[in-house]
Amino acid sequence: MRERIVAVLGAGNMRTAPLVSATLARWYPDVPFGIRLFDANPERLDLADLLLRRLLDDWNDEIPVASSQSATDALDGATEVIVTMHEDCARRMTSRGWSPNLEYFESANTLDLYGGGDRNRPTPVEQLSEQTRRLLENPGLESGSREDAIRESMAQILKIIPEEARLLSLTRGVVLPVERPYAHFDWPPPVAEMGLQLVPHQILRWVRGDEKIEPLAQAADASPVMAWLKDSEAG
């Protein structure tokens, strides 16, 4: 069997990135495989890349990883494609625009941001780096809905996905504009907006080794994405 290449489109999706990365890092097929990450947002892409490499260091350190802001590069030779497209990535691809959404962080009292002892307390706004502030940007709704932006971006990408590649979508509430068969899982579950804003901090704790990654391993091993990947081994 030939080498497998798994491409993740919209890899910086904060809902899916931790568990998709863990699942890929825990997959041990009988053939060599590589992982390609794509996202139009460079900060989100960097976070996803950091986390994946951290997990691979512990679980599967021979797997090559390449990250790119070019969907064409990420899809070159792909045998499996996992779509985790998020609104920010879609709008950057389609030039629909995006706008800062830091109102909560700008207006909240610094003590409120610490969450009264919450273990996931975010950094006070005055200490946020420019990179993190940009990461917390959310797409503006004035230039079309989330669903429209994602469908438009995927219409572009679907034209360059290899015909023989297996396709899986984890994108919520969007039917891909494609006639070819594909799988869709409503997984992981939705995360509230404030919860999503905490994910970058959690990722950095995993990357630094401040918190254990074993819970990710347990969730990854039982995930529907793992089952989908293992199905490809018979193909």
Taking a C-beta distance cutoff of 8 angstroms, is the pair 71, 155 a contact?
no
**Measured torsion, CA atoms of residues 187, 175, 233, 8, in degrees rounded to the nearest 10:** -70
Q: Tell me the pLDDT band of 165, cut-offs 50, 70 and 90.
A: very high
Q: 3-class DSSP state for residue 1? A: coil
| pTM value surpassing 0.85 | no
What's the rounded mean pLDDT across residues 206-231? 96
- Please give the single-letter amino acid code of residue 53: R
Q: What is the pLDDT of residue 222?
A: 97
Q: What is the pLDDT of residue 141?
A: 41
Q: Give me the DSSP letters along 69-112.
A: S-HHHHHTT-SEEEE---HHHHHHHHT---B---HHHHHS-HHH
Which tens digits make up the pLDDT trace of 33-49? 999 999 999 999 999 99
Taking a C-beta distance cutoff of 8 angstroms, is the pair 207, 51 a contact?
yes
Q: Which residue has the higher pLDDT, 54 or 121?
A: 54
Question: Is residue 224 pLDDT above 70, yes or no?
Answer: yes
Q: What is the pLDDT of residue 117?
A: 42
What's the rounded mean pLDDT across residues 217-223? 97
How many other CB atoms are found less than 10 A from the CB of residue 99?
A: 12
The CATH fold assigned to 4-99+143-232 is: Rossmann fold (3.40.50)
Domain ranges of the chain: 4-99+143-232, 102-136
Phi, psi (rounded to 5 degrees) for 5: -125, 120
- Please give the single-letter amino acid code of residue 204: L
Q: Which helix (H) or strand (E) holds 14?
A: none
Q: What is the pLDDT of residue 233?
A: 77
Q: 3-class DSSP state for residue 168? A: strand
What's the rounded mean pLDDT across residues 81-103? 75
> How far is Cα 204 from Cα 10, in angstroms, rounded to an integer?
19
Q: What is the pLDDT of residue 72?
A: 96
Cross-strand pairs, 37: 8, 67
Q: Tell me the pLDDT band of 98, cut-offs 50, 70 and 90.
A: very low
> How far is Cα 88 from Cα 73, in angstroms, rounded to an integer?
20
Residues 6+ apart with CB under 8 A from 4: 29, 31, 32, 33, 34, 79, 80, 232
When mean pLDDT is compared across 79-93, 128-142, 211-225, the lowest value belongs to 128-142
> How far is Cα 198 from Cα 202, in angstroms, rounded to an integer?
6
How many other CB atoms are found less than 10 A from the CB of residue 190?
A: 10
Task: Report angle CA 207, 208, 213 to the nearest 5 degrees.
Answer: 55
Q: pLDDT over 70 for what percent of the chain?
A: 78
When mean pLDDT is compared across 24-28, 61-65, 143-147, 202-206, the lowest value belongs to 143-147
Taking a C-beta distance cutoff of 8 angstroms, is the pair 150, 128 a contact?
no
Q: What is the pLDDT of residue 94?
A: 84
